Amino acid sequence: MGKSLELKIPPPVVALLVGVAMWGIARLEVDLRPALDLPRLTRAALAAPFVVAGVVIAAMGVATFRRARTTINPMKPDAATSLVTGGIYRFTRNPMYLGLTLALDGWAVFLFSPWTLLGPVAFVLYITRFQIAPEERALRDRFGESFTAYAAKVRRWV
């Protein structure tokens, strides 16, 4: 597989596919659920903070990129016109992916099925390998020591 999947599938599409897979897993394991089941409204209330936090964090990332007038296209990191290190990017190098992960966490909570917790893990592993690593190579090539110093100071996820 190697580099064949690098920067090929937009991260929101990956998140959507993982979310659909999580739903499918939850439907398959109905008989394997814990004895304690929660009402749908309770699960929604528990899931909502994850989803809301995810949307807010991702939106902050997009807004910061737009203010910097640089590309938000994750498929073309070499088109970045500036290295964004302010705003939400002071705390995480990947707020948009962090936001998608939190939304998937909320989806797992809502589905209330233990195996669905693997969905966000799979998303993080895939995105780290096939999206973030190539992005970081492109940013290091484009911004050199500035990116290296930023990456040393700010964590990839949180």
| Per-block mean pLDDT, blocks of 10 residues, the chain (158 long) | 86 98 87 71 97 98 97 95 97 98 98 93 98 97 98 97
pLDDT for the residue numbered 2: 67
Q: State the Cα–Cα distance between residues 129 and 77, nearest whole angstrom.
A: 15
Distance from C-alpha of 158 to C-alpha of 155, rounded to nearest angstrom: 6
pLDDT at 31: 60
Model's pTM, two decimal places?
0.94
Query: Of 113, 103, 105, 106, whose CA–CA distance to 23 is shortest?
Result: 113
What is the model's pLDDT at position 4? 85
What is the predicted pLDDT for the residue at 28? Answer: 86
**How far apart (Å, rounded) are the C-alpha atoms in residues 24 and 17?**
11
